[in-house]
Amino acid sequence: MPFAHITGWGMYVPEPVLTNDDIAKLVDTNDAWIRDRTGIRERHIARENDFPSTLAVEASIKALQVANLAPTELDLIICSTSSPEYIFPATACIIQDQIGATKAGAFDLLAACSGFIFATNMAAQAIRSGSIKNALVIGTETLSRFVDWKDRNTCILFGDGAGAFVLQASDKPGGVLSAVMHSDGSGANSLTLLGGGARHPATELTLHEGKHFVQMDGKEVFRFATRVMGRAAIEALELAGMTTNDVQWIIPHQANFRIIETAAKYLKMPLEKFIINVENYGNTSTASIPIATVEGVEKEKLKVGDKVVFVGFGAGLTWGAMVVEWTGPLPATKNVHPEQYRRFARFRSWIRRTLRFIEGIFFRREL
Ligand code: UT7
């Protein structure tokens, strides 16, 4: 059975930074309160021309560069997002077209902030089963588009960004060692975005009622998060036949510093073993774990051979954890330049649309 290794990683955040002081100009809040209750100092916010797909393309190209893998060699793309570009088509398909991953099947996965763990697990299982060799997993969000900038309960929390992993099959032991995924829909009302779906299609009334904004019972989500984070990490470790003593790094979902602190206490692990960057990015939902991972690598914390636990929670309710042996890129057999494929993407896309148009003319004639 092949092993599923994380061989590439990349992140991208839009340039504009929104500080706590900036938010204090919009709602009745202040920097001290936000820092004290959440640990957040600033977050990046999408510009007019930033979308989940454009952020994801930047992160994906970087991940493919690290893995030294051409987009055409990808078999599968899973995009985890709670702020998709459209209800359909899937954001994953837009990314697939823009990076030139012409062979890959692509779909979106929605498990909110736990989504990146769920998606990575799905890709790893597909590799472990032998049905595919190379996968791209993306977490991307522009939740700022769905935040009510008059609601101080939510607008202080979220930031935009994307992160991506390349997963590849190899006979060498390591990579994804175990994973657990959990859901409890009885808590669905705690964190929602109700408008625009089949139950509440967009109408003047849904707009008026603010149904197109994120709504959250912060205290309820906080309680749930502190209850499940530590437990999920232990569960995944047990599945891998390991304990917290075997672990070099915990990379948690970056929602709130106090939640991470509680998980550390539960696990009886020092905070130094946690990679934490919520201060600079806020809660980027499903993108937070890969963004923290990339920073962990860039700051030379994460090293080859390290055992890492990813752990997250989110709307749904969902939560999960994954144990990984960090192995880095596979030995290169050739030099590829993934960014070149993107350069031709528009042209290729145009050719494909034109061919479909011509095919349509002939098809109609045959009828
Ligand atoms: O990815 C998952 C996404 N969601 C989360 O992870 C959210 C989890 N929950 C949390 O992080 C916290 O519950 C919050 C940060 C959202 C809120 O912190 P809290 O300590 O639970 O505050 P609270 O809601 O209990 O509010 C305490 C007080 C209240 O005032 P009173 O009633 O005590 O007078 C609030 O009205 O703080 C007030 N408050 C604020 N004050 C200044 C609430 N939001 C703010 C604010 N600025 N932004």
**Which residue type occupies 238?**
E
**DSSP for residue 332:** P
What atom of ligand 1 comes closest to residue 153's alpha carbon? 44
Taking alpha carbons only, the member of 307, 303, 302 closest to residue 322 is 307
**Does the structure show a pLDDT above 70 at 125?**
yes
CB 76 within 8 A of CB 92: no
Cα(217) to centroid of ligand 1, in Å? Answer: 9
The answer to whether 117 and 321 are in contact (CB under 8 A) is: yes
Ligand 1 atom nearest 155 alpha carbon: 48
Q: From CA 229, how far away is CA 216, in angstroms rounded?
A: 19
Q: 197 C-alpha to center of ligand 1: Å?
A: 28
Kindly give the number of the ligand 1 atom that is closest to the alpha carbon of 38: 15
The pLDDT of residue 4 is above 80: yes
Q: Classify the phi-psi angles of 216: left when phi > 0, otherwise alpha if psi is within -120 to 50, otherwise beta.
A: beta
Long-range CB contact pairs, 145-151, < 8 A, 24+: 145/46, 145/83, 146/83, 146/193, 146/212, 146/213, 146/214, 147/213, 147/214, 148/210, 148/213, 148/214, 149/26, 149/27, 150/26, 150/27, 151/27, 151/213
Cα-to-centroid distance, 211 and ligand 1 (Å)? 20
* Ligand 1, pocket-test mutation among 141, 222, 284, 291, most atoms within 8 A of CB: 222
Nearest CA to ligand 1 atom 12: 218
Ligand 1, residue 113: give the atom nearest the CA: 1
pLDDT, position 122: 98
The angle, 0 to 180 degrees and rounded to 10, between the axes of the packed helices 91-99 and 52-67 is: 50
* Residue nearest (by alpha carbon) to ligand 1 atom 21: 219
Contacts of residues 131-134 at CB distance under 8 Å and 24 or more positions apart, as own/partner, are 132/75, 132/76, 132/169, 133/2, 133/73, 133/75, 133/168, 133/169, 134/69, 134/73, 134/74, 134/75, 134/76, 134/166, 134/167, 134/168, 134/169
Nearest CA to ligand 1 atom 7: 218
Distance 158 CA to ligand 1 centre (A): 13
For residue 24, report the distance from its CA to the centre of ligand 1, in Å: 15
Per-residue model confidence (pLDDT) at position 50: 98
Report the separation in Å between the CA atom of 218 and the middle of ligand 1, taken as the mean of its atom positions: 6
**pLDDT given for residue 115 in this prediction:** 98
Written as six digits, the tokens of 312 are: 């997250």
Given the CA of residue 253, which atom of ligand 1 is nearest to it? 1
Among protein residues, the one with the nearest Cα to ligand 1's atom 14 is 218
What is the distance between the terminal CA atoms of the chain, rounded to a whole angstrom? 49
> Would you say residue 238 has pLDDT above 90?
yes
Q: What is the DSSP secondary structure assignment for residue 285, as one 8-state letter? A: G
Res 363 pLDDT > 90: no
What tens digit of pLDDT does each residue of 253-296 get?
999 999 999 999 999 999 999 999 999 999 999 999 999 999 99
| Span 134-150, average pLDDT | 98
Alpha carbon nearest to ligand 1 atom 6, residue: 255
pTM greater than 0.85? yes
Residue type, 142: T
Model confidence pLDDT, tens digit, residues 185-195: 999 999 999 99
> Taking all residues of the chain, what is their mean pLDDT, rounded to a whole number?
96
Look at residue 366 in the predicted model and tell me its pLDDT.
66
Predicted local distance difference test score (pLDDT) of residue 120 = 98
pLDDT of residue 142: 98
**Which atom of ligand 1 lies nearest, measured to the CA of 158?**
3
Domains of the chain: 3-325 (3.40.47.10)
If you take atom 20 of ligand 1, which residue's CA is the nearest one?
37
What per-residue confidence (pLDDT) applies to 343? 80
Vertex 70 angle, CA 65 and 71, to 5°: 100
Question: So which residues are the catalytic ones?
Answer: 113, 253, 283
In this structure, which residue's CA is closest to atom 42 in ligand 1? 29
**What 8-state DSSP symbol labels residue 18?**
E
Q: At what angle do helices 91-99 and 345-366 cross, to 10 degrees?
A: 110
Return d(Cα 9, Cα 133) in angstroms, integer.
Answer: 17
Closest residue by Cα to atom 46, ligand 1, is 29
- 355: three-class secondary structure by DSSP: helix
* Secondary structure letter of residue 153 according to DSSP: T
347 confidence band (pLDDT: 50, 70, 90): confident
Q: Which two tokens stand for residue 217?
A: 């019972």
Q: What is the DSSP letter of 306?
A: -
Q: Which of 230, 254, 249, 216 is nearest to 39 (CA)?
A: 254
pLDDT at residue 58, rounded to an integer: 97
Confidence of residue 337 (pLDDT cuts 50, 70, 90): confident
Per-residue pLDDT band for 148 (boundaries 50, 70, 90) equals very high
Q: Cβ < 6 Å from ligand 1: which residues?
A: 29, 33, 37-38, 113, 152-153, 156, 191, 216, 218-219, 221-222, 225, 255-256, 283, 285, 314
Residue 264: the pLDDT is: 97
Measured in Å, residue 14 CA sits from the centre of ligand 1 at: 26
Phi first, then psi, for residue 182 (nearest 5°) are -135, 155
pLDDT of residue 346: 80
Segment 42-83, tens digit of pLDDT: 999 999 999 999 999 999 999 999 999 999 999 999 999 999
Q: How far apart are CA 268 and CA 310, in angstroms?
A: 16
**Which residue type is seen at 345?**
A
Task: Determine which helix (DSSP H) or strand (DSSP E) holds 263, and give its type and residue range.
Answer: helix 257-267
Mapped onto helix, strand or coil, the DSSP state of residue 364 is helix
- What percent of the chain is modeled with pLDDT above 70? 99
| pLDDT tens-digit map of 155-199 | 999 999 999 999 999 999 999 999 999 999 999 999 999 999 999
254 Cα: distance to centroid of ligand 1 (angstroms):
16
